Amino acid sequence: MFVVIMGCGRLGAELAVILEADGHDVSILDVDKYAFDHLPVDFKGQKVLGDGTDQDTLRRAGAERADAFVAATRGDNRNALAVQIAKHVFQIKRVGGVIFDPIREEVYRGLGIRTINPTKLEAGLLRQSIEREED
Compute how many residues bind other proteins; rule: CB under 8 A.
21
Q: Which is nearer to other proteins, 27 or 84 (CB)?
A: 84
Q: Judged by CB under 8 A, does residue 56 bind other proteins?
A: yes
Buried b (16+ CB within 10 A) or exposed e, 92-109: beebbbbbbeeebbeebe
Q: Which is nearer to other proteins, 19 or 85 (CB)?
A: 85
What string of DSSP letters covers 36-90?
GGGS-TT--SEEEES-TTSHHHHHHTTGGG-SEEEE-SS-HHHHHHHHHHHHHTS
| Site string (101-120) toward other proteins, x via CB under 8 A | x-xx--xx-xx---------
CB of 68 to other proteins, least distance (A): 19
Residues at the interface with other proteins (CB under 8 A): 53-56, 75-78, 80-81, 84-85, 88-89, 101, 103-104, 107-108, 110-111
